[in-house]
Amino acid sequence: MSEPTSEVRSKLFQNLQQVQTRISRACAESNRSPTDVRLVAVTKYTAESLVEEFLRLGYMDLGENRPQQLLERASRLPGSVSWHLIGQLQRNKVRSILPRVTLIHSIDSLKLLQHVSRIAGELQRIPRLLLQVNVSGEASKNGLTPQELQRAANEFGALPDVNIVGLMTMAPEGANETELRATFGGLRELKDQLNQADIGLSLTELSMGMSGDFEIAIQEGATLIRLGSVLFHECEPMR
């Protein structure tokens, strides 16, 4: 595999600096500390040589949306990487994924959670998980609707061998600022409601915000932002 050229390296560095500046500014505007917002670099379209370059800059949180690609990359890249699964998890991948991931962002049904709970028990692991919520109710999006989650919240809270630490959402395609704030603010309110419901859930994380909307997500309370194109664009001809 060819090494990134120096132009590619400096472009990546520049992208990263710009992103950090924008994160800091969004935090300052909303009286939040930049240390409360973790950057998960989404590498699903990114060549592995560029991912290695990114790791050399001191970042360790990587997100992949396909379990198979996550597993393959995890087997080649340093063990110090924290892997985030951000895309759909098929039941037959649960057993291989659990030992590899820091956080699964995409638990999108009670059935999947029950399955994860069972496998986690067998493996004697307690995975950290986020419930993916389809806040906007858009038909094309994966995730639990807020109503489904509220209705079955007791069951979510009662499962053993899983540590549900928060919620994740994706904004509707082409949403304007009002819709983005409604989606991200809606997720934050849902988290607060579930925490107050006294059903054994103690949620601290909100995974929301991508390249096109992360500043608004930060202003609305994101603790994890998932950025791909804004970091890696113009670093490779492949996109």
Ligand X SMILES: *Cc1c(COP(=O)(O)O)cnc(C)c1O
Among 142, 96, 145, residue whose Cα is nearest residue 122: 96
Q: Please identify which residue in 85, 116, 227, 235 interacts with ligand X, judged by CB under 6 A.
A: 227
In whole angstroms, what is the distance from residue 116 CA to residue 94 CA?
6
The minimum distance between CB 125 and ligand X, in angstroms, equals 23
By CB under 6 A, the residues from 13 to 52 that bind ligand X are 42, 44
Would you count residue 114 as binding ligand X (CB under 6 A)? Answer: no
Q: Please identify which residue in 38, 104, 226, 235 interacts with ligand X, judged by CB under 6 A.
A: 226
By CB under 6 A, the residues from 158 to 187 that bind ligand X are 170
Q: What angle do CA 221, 15, 222 make, to 5 degrees?
A: 5
Using an 8 Å Cβ cutoff, are 80 and 60 in contact? Answer: yes
Quote the crossing angle between the two packed helices 48-56 and 67-76, to the nearest 10°: 60
Would you count residue 146 as binding ligand X (CB under 6 A)? Answer: no
Q: Please identify which residue in 87, 143, 166, 221 interacts with ligand X, judged by CB under 6 A.
A: 87
The minimum distance between CB 198 and ligand X, in angstroms, equals 31
The minimum distance between CB 228 and ligand X, in angstroms, equals 3
In whole angstroms, what is the distance from residue 159 CA to residue 116 CA?
10
How many residues touch ligand X under the rule CB under 6 A: the total is 14
The minimum distance between CB 200 and ligand X, in angstroms, equals 27
Q: Which stretch binds ligand X (CB under 6 A): 24-32, 48-56, 73-81, 223-231?
A: 223-231
Q: What angle do CA 38, 215, 55 make, to 5 degrees?
A: 35
The two tokens of residue 214 are 């992360």
Question: What DSSP designation does 132 have?
Answer: E
Q: Please identify which residue in 24, 82, 114, 229 interacts with ligand X, judged by CB under 6 A.
A: 229
Q: Please identify which residue in 86, 94, 119, 218 interacts with ligand X, judged by CB under 6 A.
A: 86
Among 66, 33, 82, 10, residue whose Cα is nearest residue 223: 33
In whole angstroms, what is the distance from residue 81 CA to residue 74 CA?
8
The minimum distance between CB 31 and ligand X, in angstroms, equals 25
Would you count residue 143 as binding ligand X (CB under 6 A)? Answer: no
φ, ψ (nearest 5 deg) of residue 194: -65, -40
φ, ψ (nearest 5 deg) of residue 61: -95, 115
For the chain, what is the largest distance between any 2 Cα atoms, rounded to a whole number of angstroms?
A: 54
Interaction pattern, residues 63-82, with ligand X; x per rule: CB under 6 A: --x-----------------
Would you count residue 109 as binding ligand X (CB under 6 A)? Answer: no
Would you count residue 85 as binding ligand X (CB under 6 A)? Answer: no
Q: Which residues bind ligand X (CB under 6 A)?
A: 42, 44, 65, 86-87, 170, 210-212, 226-230
